[in-house]
Structure 1
């Protein structure tokens, strides 16, 4: 993932997702879910405006989101019902900056700070 950078909050999101999944479903499931997130990031890197990405103008001008469930067929082992959304923006020279990775039940506007620490 040479063209993908994660904000500090996105890194914390991944750690929190892993911790929650490990506590509730075990280490194998936590590792599998993290692998799915990595696959989704690879898919976004391959095509940042791929089918399934959505513009998020309420969050900011060039911000997009992508449901990791759209990558589950390219990840192994399969995750039955992934429910996280990657929120990202395109930066100069095709770089993708991941702002947050949030559960789909969360109000993304509420969990989206004005100043993301790059």
Structure 2
């Protein structure tokens, strides 16, 4: 398993997503989504090229991949329930020794360039 690094932009994305989730849907929903995010990070770290991950060559970013949180629902903790319709994905890249998570984005957002700090 590779080491996992999370760019500051991704940390901000995660925090904002969890705060929004709590404001809109309550504490339990935040905890469900947090468990899903944690599972997705672990899944990407364990096998960054796993089935379901998409390479972003079409966007001119051949070393960048996408992992949608919906694919981590089975591995997420069920302590707070299951997220029925996750709407976010991680933008990450794989290096020899680590996986660098650059962003957590909503599926309706355009995919930006990978953050420079995470290259």
TM-score (norm 1): 0.89
- Shift in Å, 1:113: 5.5
**SS in structure 2 opposite 1:80?**
coil
- Shift in Å, 1:6: 0.5
Aligned to 2:100: 97
- CA deviations over 1:24-49 (Å, ceiling 9, x no partner): 00111111101101101111111110
Pairing 1:47–2:47 present: yes
Aligned to 1:65: 66
- CA deviations over 1:59-83 (Å, ceiling 9, x no partner): 5231000101001122222101001
Cα pair distance change 1:40/1:107, threshold 3 Å? same
Cα pair distance change 1:114/1:66, threshold 3 Å? closer
> Which runs of structure 1 show a deviation greater than 3 angstroms over 4 or more consecutive aligned residues?
none
Q: Counterparts of 2:60 and 2:89 in 1: how far apart (Å)?
A: 14
Pairing 1:79–2:83 present: yes
- Shift in Å, 1:15: 0.4
Q: Counterparts of 2:111 and 2:31 in 1: how far apart (Å)?
A: 25
Pairing 1:10–2:10 present: yes
Q: CA RMSD, aligned part only? A: 1.8
- Structure 1 regions of 5+ residues with no counterpart? none
Pairing 1:106–2:109 present: yes
**Equivalenced residues, count:** 115
| Structure 1 or 2: more strand by fraction | 2
